[in-house]
Protein backbone atom coordinates (compact mmCIF):
# COMPACT_ATOMS: atom_id res chain seq x y z
CA UNK A 1 0.00 0.00 0.00
CA UNK A 2 1.39 3.35 -1.09
CA UNK A 3 0.03 6.82 -0.39
CA UNK A 4 1.52 9.59 -2.48
CA UNK A 5 0.93 13.27 -1.65
CA UNK A 6 2.45 16.04 -3.73
CA UNK A 7 1.30 19.55 -2.95
CA UNK A 8 3.23 22.46 -4.40
CA UNK A 9 1.39 25.76 -4.24
CA UNK A 10 1.47 28.06 -7.23
CA UNK A 11 0.51 31.70 -7.55
CA UNK A 12 -1.75 33.46 -10.02
CA UNK A 13 1.10 33.48 -12.54
CA UNK A 14 0.64 29.74 -13.01
CA UNK A 15 -2.82 30.12 -14.53
CA UNK A 16 -1.62 32.88 -16.85
CA UNK A 17 1.30 30.82 -18.13
CA UNK A 18 1.19 27.82 -20.47
CA UNK A 19 1.46 25.57 -17.40
CA UNK A 20 -2.03 26.55 -16.28
CA UNK A 21 -3.57 25.67 -19.66
CA UNK A 22 -4.38 21.97 -19.81
CA UNK A 23 -4.38 21.94 -23.60
CA UNK A 24 -0.74 23.13 -23.58
CA UNK A 25 0.72 21.53 -20.44
CA UNK A 26 -1.35 18.38 -20.14
CA UNK A 27 -2.78 19.56 -16.84
CA UNK A 28 -1.71 18.84 -13.31
CA UNK A 29 -1.14 15.12 -13.89
CA UNK A 30 1.24 15.72 -16.79
CA UNK A 31 2.88 18.88 -15.51
CA UNK A 32 3.46 17.74 -11.91
CA UNK A 33 2.31 14.16 -11.54
CA UNK A 34 4.28 12.59 -14.38
CA UNK A 35 7.51 12.57 -12.33
CA UNK A 36 5.79 10.76 -9.48
CA UNK A 37 4.09 8.26 -11.76
CA UNK A 38 7.54 7.57 -13.26
CA UNK A 39 8.86 6.86 -9.77
CA UNK A 40 5.96 4.60 -8.83
CA UNK A 41 6.17 2.60 -12.07
CA UNK A 42 9.94 2.28 -11.75
CA UNK A 43 9.55 0.84 -8.25
CA UNK A 44 6.29 -1.12 -8.51
CA UNK A 45 5.78 -2.07 -12.14
CA UNK A 46 3.27 -1.22 -14.86
CA UNK A 47 -0.32 -0.09 -14.42
CA UNK A 48 -3.03 -2.68 -14.07
CA UNK A 49 -5.86 -0.21 -13.47
CA UNK A 50 -6.48 3.43 -12.68
CA UNK A 51 -9.39 5.20 -11.03
CA UNK A 52 -9.83 8.98 -10.88
CA UNK A 53 -11.67 10.20 -7.79
CA UNK A 54 -11.29 13.95 -8.29
CA UNK A 55 -10.00 16.05 -11.16
CA UNK A 56 -9.90 19.84 -11.16
CA UNK A 57 -7.43 22.29 -12.71
CA UNK A 58 -5.68 22.76 -9.35
CA UNK A 59 -5.87 19.23 -7.89
CA UNK A 60 -6.38 15.61 -8.78
CA UNK A 61 -6.82 12.46 -6.74
CA UNK A 62 -7.04 8.82 -7.62
CA UNK A 63 -6.03 5.22 -7.18
CA UNK A 64 -3.48 3.42 -9.28
CA UNK A 65 -3.14 -0.33 -9.21
CA UNK A 66 0.36 -1.30 -10.26
CA UNK A 67 1.80 -4.77 -10.68
CA UNK A 68 3.31 -4.75 -7.16
CA UNK A 69 1.48 -1.97 -5.27
CA UNK A 70 -1.79 -0.16 -4.82
CA UNK A 71 -1.18 3.60 -4.89
CA UNK A 72 -3.47 6.33 -3.59
CA UNK A 73 -2.28 9.59 -5.12
CA UNK A 74 -3.08 13.23 -4.55
CA UNK A 75 -1.64 16.17 -6.50
CA UNK A 76 -2.36 19.81 -5.79
CA UNK A 77 -1.13 23.29 -6.58
CA UNK A 78 -3.61 24.83 -4.15
CA UNK A 79 -1.98 26.31 -1.05
CA UNK A 80 -5.09 25.47 0.99
CA UNK A 81 -4.28 21.76 0.59
CA UNK A 82 -0.95 22.09 2.42
CA UNK A 83 -0.94 20.53 5.89
CA UNK A 84 -1.29 23.20 8.61
CA UNK A 85 2.15 22.35 10.01
CA UNK A 86 3.73 23.13 6.64
CA UNK A 87 1.82 26.40 6.19
CA UNK A 88 2.81 27.48 9.72
CA UNK A 89 6.48 27.12 8.75
CA UNK A 90 5.90 29.34 5.71
CA UNK A 91 6.68 26.51 3.32
CA UNK A 92 4.89 26.29 -0.02
CA UNK A 93 5.31 22.58 -0.76
CA UNK A 94 4.76 19.18 0.81
CA UNK A 95 5.88 15.94 -0.79
CA UNK A 96 5.35 12.65 0.99
CA UNK A 97 5.24 8.94 0.21
CA UNK A 98 3.91 6.44 2.73
CA UNK A 99 4.66 2.79 2.01
CA UNK A 100 2.97 0.22 4.23
CA UNK A 101 2.56 2.84 6.95
CA UNK A 102 6.15 4.13 6.81
CA UNK A 103 6.24 7.78 5.76
CA UNK A 104 9.06 9.48 3.85
CA UNK A 105 8.81 13.21 3.34
CA UNK A 106 10.82 14.44 0.34
CA UNK A 107 9.86 18.10 0.27
CA UNK A 108 13.47 19.29 0.23
CA UNK A 109 15.98 18.74 -2.55
CA UNK A 110 13.81 19.35 -5.61
CA UNK A 111 15.25 22.67 -6.75
CA UNK A 112 17.97 21.33 -9.06
CA UNK A 113 16.44 18.12 -10.41
CA UNK A 114 15.39 19.56 -13.77
CA UNK A 115 18.85 21.08 -14.25
CA UNK A 116 20.49 17.76 -13.43
CA UNK A 117 18.14 15.90 -15.78
CA UNK A 118 18.99 18.31 -18.62
CA UNK A 119 22.69 17.88 -17.85
CA UNK A 120 22.31 14.11 -18.16
CA UNK A 121 20.45 14.50 -21.48
CA UNK A 122 23.21 16.73 -22.88
CA UNK A 123 25.78 14.13 -21.77
CA UNK A 124 23.92 11.45 -23.75
CA UNK A 125 22.45 9.73 -20.69
CA UNK A 126 18.85 10.93 -20.96
CA UNK A 127 15.67 8.93 -20.94
CA UNK A 128 14.08 7.57 -24.10
CA UNK A 129 10.44 7.02 -25.00
CA UNK A 130 10.57 3.42 -23.79
CA UNK A 131 11.57 4.67 -20.34
CA UNK A 132 8.52 6.91 -20.03
CA UNK A 133 5.90 5.12 -22.13
CA UNK A 134 4.08 3.60 -19.15
CA UNK A 135 3.90 6.92 -17.27
CA UNK A 136 2.45 8.56 -20.37
CA UNK A 137 -0.13 5.76 -20.52
CA UNK A 138 -1.09 6.48 -16.90
CA UNK A 139 -1.52 10.20 -17.54
CA UNK A 140 -3.49 9.54 -20.72
CA UNK A 141 -5.80 7.19 -18.79
CA UNK A 142 -6.33 9.83 -16.09
CA UNK A 143 -7.02 12.59 -18.59
CA UNK A 144 -9.57 10.43 -20.46
CA UNK A 145 -11.43 9.79 -17.19
* 3-class secondary structure, 5: strand
CATH 3.90.1170.50 matches 2-143: no
- What proportions of the chain, in percent to the nearest 5, are helix, strand and coil? 45, 30, 25
- Residues in the chain with pLDDT values less than 50: none
pLDDT number for residue 135? 94
Amino acid sequence: MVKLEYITSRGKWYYKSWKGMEEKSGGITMNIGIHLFDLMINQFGPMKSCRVIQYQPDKAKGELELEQADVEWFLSINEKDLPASIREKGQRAFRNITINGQSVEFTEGFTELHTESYRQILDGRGFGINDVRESLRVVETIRKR
